[in-house]
A and B are shown apart, each in its own frame.
Chain A
Amino acid sequence: DTGVSQNPRHKITKRGQNVTFRCDPISEHNRLYWYRQTLGQGPEFLTYFQNEAQLEKSRLLSDRFSAERPKGSFSTLEIQRTEQGDSAMYLCASSAQALYGYTFGSGTRLTVV
């Protein structure tokens, strides 16, 4: 499988717990993006990496959110002290260049109860 892989597919957690999601991009892609999508809305940008450098973070990304991309390969998105408002689909995408489209993973659906 040469697509973008996200794990887990689903995560149910209790409010206040920490969760971590993983994204494995297409290996030739140096750009990696995280988006969040709630029901009936389009994806909202969270953060963007070029290789291992985190180049941009959205104001949506509160201090409870942190993302890493060690060695410029896979990436992790951690949410600390989860809140019910964090319930959403978290999408990862990668691309080779700015003028190419993104390849998205299938997403991680987070439910905070």
Chain B
Amino acid sequence: SQQGEEDPQALSIQEGENATMNCSYKTSINNLQWYRQNSGRGLVHLILIRSNEREKHSGRLRVTLDTSKKSSSLLITASRAADTASYFCATDSTGGGNKLTFGTGTQLKVEL
């Protein structure tokens, strides 16, 4: 079953613009993670934010977490064509047995 839902399902922007993706989830979590997947490939871990953290940065990535609203957002600044991929949020739920439950993903297309 899918835990989270990403919004929007698809996003198309111009190179240099910022891209924001949102994730909502249903249960209490230990941490939330974001992954990127290029077409037909495995997923690549981008960033992890713990339940007691509200914001985290890594390079051009900024993640926020609002546990009261059970939501997270991923911001990619100054996007590049190479950022074109699907982005998934994944939750490590409290009592969930240390497995990740993935959302449905946002397809990002960055055009030149």
On A, residues with C-beta under 8 Å from B are 4, 6, 31, 33, 35, 40-45, 48, 55-56, 89, 91, 93, 98-107, 109
Given contacts A33-B99, A101-B48, contact A41 B43 (CB under 8 A): no
B28 at the A interface (CB under 8 A): no
- Chain A residues with CB under 8 Å of B104's CB are 41-42
Query: How many B residues touch the partner, as a band?
Result: 20 to 34
6 tightest A-B CB contacts, nearest first: A101-B45, A42-B102, A104-B42, A98-B98, A104-B43, A106-B42
- Chain B residues with CB under 8 Å of A103's CB are 45
| Nearest Cβ on chain A to B112's Cβ, whole angstroms | 25
The complex places the Cα of A102 from the Cα of B48 at a distance, in Å, of 10
Interface residues in B20-66 (C-beta closer than 8 Å to A): 30-31, 33, 35, 40-45, 48, 50
The complex places the Cα of A6 from the Cα of B35 at a distance, in Å, of 19
B2 at the A interface (CB under 8 A): yes
- Chain A residues with CB under 8 Å of B48's CB are 99-101
CB-based contact A102/B100 at 8 Å:
yes
CB-based contact A102/B97 at 8 Å:
no
CB-based contact B88/A98 at 8 Å:
no
Question: Which of B2, B42, B99 is the one whose CB lies under 8 Å from A91?
Answer: B42
The complex places the Cα of A66 from the Cα of B84 at a distance, in Å, of 35
Offer 8 A-B interface pairs, CB within 8 angstroms, sorted by A. A33-B100, A42-B2, A43-B102, A56-B99, A91-B42, A99-B31, A99-B48, A101-B35
